[in-house]
Each structure stands twice: as structure tokens, then as C-alpha cells.
A = this chain, B = another copy of it.
């Protein structure tokens, strides 16, 4: 059997064939659920077929994973780090092909596809260092001959449910940390990017096998909502890391909490860029373009709202509309393309519905606003002038649609920035230190990511990634995000022979 198109042949090098098992359970590839096709968003033609997970596959995978957890937890953290290092090296050896697959199946342009894989590699390297720094604390006890420790121990199994827009980076953020922390990983990738799920898993699996470790330390399922629900309800999974919409995330959270599990949520963003009157306009315009059009507006950190100081409104809008009109739209694998297709036909339909809503709520289309008739899911990058109070501005329309609005003062701009239910990312462009420090301070942006003179997107892995309010409150990647993948215990050891009590209490 061979691929429908010659240009897909490169997939063989990363373990993908025309038809693929969609589950890696108990260290073997198998699956007995529905057969699906995965398509290229640039033309909606089939790339390859995948057999998704059945409920039975899920159960088999989870049983093996539970067993593997008992072994993995006993591997010292620095040794777990060595495994993650090897995963990073295996990815590095396949960077180009893997990046190409990400572009092909997700639809983002090639530099972004490769950048996404590079981010997983960076995470591996970061996690290796972390594997010797998952530090607890020795805390002074108020009682003689007592030692107080704060210990961090693995949770056991971490469930990771990822979305189509970052089909491997988000897995990387979660899995690299979860693994060095001593957890097995159960992954359900997006239903529309199964090949990325499979290719990524094959790389992890190869490393586990080479090191004679149970493959079920990393268990992966291609599948849809059914598998997601199974993970949410599964008491064997103390932590579920979910990336997706606020609506679905909230439902997952309530299911997981009901069984006293924990969630790490990365939900919707509705990210604003503020341009103050002293901003470097050229820098701001380039940043807005990257932030609003990049990944076809399908990043959680995509800039969706542009707040411009009224005195420079025209100076910003004019060049911005100009560059929007010059954006090269086309096959994401082609050199020079800046804007690829939306991920699915449904996304394109949602774009069309969104434009209708925008118009009905008083929005004025400055450029774009229409789809491109073709086999693929292409749309025109769109700028809309609209009131900050319009209902649609509070929502996350997952497409390259940018709302622009004016403001008079810094305080007003911050208020608009903070007026939406989401709290992921935000940026200001200014050279005024007072605004810079107020923006990142107590009365500034209420988001988890707060930038100055850079776009809303493009986070580095060394910081914690995630947002407040409707964005769910989780933090991934750097800083002390790892603590979410472990359980903390406050331990007090009495090594003497007396029993003094805290707070000087005398009992009996």
C-alpha cells in the first residue's frame, strides 16, 4: 500500500504509513475503533488512514499504564531525565520531517511547523536539567529533635488531552515535565491530527524500548470525545491536563473534580495588544501581523484585539491594513507563504458565521472578511473596527480576525484589556517606564502572559505558560510548573524521644 500522493512519502521516515494503528498500548501498536481519514487542510484530500481507539483499547492501555507506573516511579529522577534527553535527541534527528508533518496535517506554515517541534526538543533539554532540581525543602521546625520536610512525589499517571493547533508542542510541555516528575503519560491527541500523535509516540516508544523500559510508560490514543471522557472519569488518572475551549475545559474540570482529581487547564484566550502614543509603530505593526495572522489566527495566544491610542490610530491602521493585503496566502509547505488554511471546513464555516455576527453587531470590515473559494479552508486575514463592548469581542473566534478599537488613556486601555472573560496573553507597546511597570504590576494586565514591545504570542519555555480567569489557571512549561505534576507533602519527623506539641500546647 502506498500514499495517495508522492509528496507524502517522506512520512515513512517517521513511521507513518497510508494506514496506521492509532493506539500505543502496553508497548504495542494496535487499535480496534473506527477507521478515519486524516486530511490536508490545504486541499481536504486524504493524507492517510488511522484506526482509532476503542473502549477496549483504552482499558487495555490504562491497565498496562497503571502497572508501568509502579516501575517508573522507582526510577530515580535523573535517570528519567536521561530518557527524556534521548527523546529530545531522537526528535532532533527527525526535525525536518516532523516539522513537515505538523505543517501538512495541521496547516500551519513550515517555519512554524519546525518551530513547534523545536519547542518540544527545547522542553526535553530543559526537563533534563530539571530532573536534578525537583527540589523539596527542609523547613526549620519549632520543636527540638524534629525535622520538617516538604517532599514532592509523583502523582502516578498524567492524562494529556491536546488540541489540533499545537498537535505536538503542548504534549511536549506536559510530557517532558510529567515524565521527569515520575509520572506515566496517557495522551489523547486531537482527532484531526492523528499522524502527529502517532509519529510523536513512535519516537518516544523507540527510546523507551531501547532502554528496556515498559512502553506503557507512554500510552497514546487517537480518538475523539469518547476517549476524552474516559480519561476525565478515570480514577487512575490523578491529573488531567486539558487544552481546548473554555466551555469544554469547564466540563472536563467538573468531571475530574467530581472524582477528586486535579485539572491543569489551558483554555481560550482573547488577547489584546495595546499601542500607546509613544510606541515604535513599525515594531508594533510587525508584531500585530505576526500575532494576529500567524497560524491563521488559531493560536491560543493569537492577538484578537488591537487597542490603539486615538492620537495614532490612523498611523497604525494604515500600514497594518497595507501589510494585511500583501500577506501571501497558500500552501503552508510552500516557501514564502505567511497564511495557510484554517484547520477544517468547520473552522471556515465558523469564520463565515463570525463575520456575519460581527457585521450584525456593528463591526466594520477594514480588510478581508471573506473566505477564499478553493479545495482548501482558506480565508482572508481580516481587520474589523468595532466597539470594545460588542458581545462578539468577548468571545474567541478561532480565525485570523482582528478587532481594532481606540482608547484615550493608559487606564482605559488596561480596563478594556481586562474586560473579557479570558485571561491568557496581552501586550503593550510603549517606551514609558511608568506604563511598562504599571502594566506588569498589580493594576495592570490581569493575564497570565504580560508582554511589552513584543506580540502576544511566541512564549519562551523558560517561563510558565498559561492564563487566568476563563483561560483556566494552569501553567505549563517552565518556572515551577512542574509542581502541578507532583503531589506535595509536609513531613515532620520526630527523631527524639519526647513529644513536644506545636503552638506550645500541653495535652494531658
Contacts and interface: CB of A to CB of B under 8 A. Distances in A.
Interface in A329-386: 338
A150 B481 CA distance: 12
A460 B129 contact: no
Given A126-B129, A508-B338, A453 B494 contact: yes
Contacts of A436: 433, 493, 495
Given A74-B144, A125-B128, A290-B499, 18 more contacts: A76-B144, A111-B507, A128-B129, A129-B130, A133-B478, A141-B462, A151-B450, A253-B257, A283-B497, A290-B501, A290-B507, A433-B493, A450-B491, A451-B494, A453-B494, A454-B494, A459-B502, A460-B492
A305 B30 CA distance: 45
Interface stretch (A54-62, A217-225, A439-447): A439-447
Nearest to A262: B473
Copies in the complex: 4
Contacts of A448: 487-490
Contacts of A143: 76, 460
Interface string A171-213: 0000000000010000000000000000000000000000000
A490 B508 contact: no
Interface string A282-323: 010011011000100000000000000000000000000000
B139 A437 contact: no
A29 interface: no
22 contacts: A76-B140, A77-B141, A118-B503, A119-B503, A125-B129, A132-B140, A132-B460, A132-B462, A133-B478, A137-B479, A139-B462, A143-B460, A153-B442, A153-B444, A262-B473, A290-B501, A290-B508, A448-B488, A451-B493, A452-B493, A454-B492, A464-B488
Interface stretch (A10-18, A78-86, A387-395, A400-408): A78-86
A50 to B, nearest CB: 28
Contact of A150 (B238, B421, B464): B464
A431 interface: yes
A316 to B, nearest CB: 16
A495 B453 contact: yes
Interface of A: 70, 73-79, 81, 85, 111-112, 115-116, 118-119, 122, 125-154, 182, 238, 246, 250, 253-254, 257-258, 260, 262, 280, 283, 286-287, 289-290, 294, 338, 421, 431-434, 436-438, 440-454, 458-465, 468-470, 472-473, 475, 478-479, 487-497, 499, 501-508
Contact of A115 (B140, B441, B475, B503): B503
Contacts of A283: 497, 499
Pick from A338, A451, A502 the residue with the most CB of B within 10 Å.
A502
Given A443-B74, A493-B436, A508-B286, A454 B142 contact: no
Q: Which of A253, A441, A489 has the most CB of B within 10 A?
A: A489
Given A283-B497, A451-B491, A490-B479, A149 B138 contact: yes
A253 B254 CA distance: 9
A77 B140 contact: yes
B128 A462 contact: no
A505 B112 contact: yes
**Residue from A73, A151, A260, A504 whose CB has the most chain B CB atoms within 10 Å:** A260
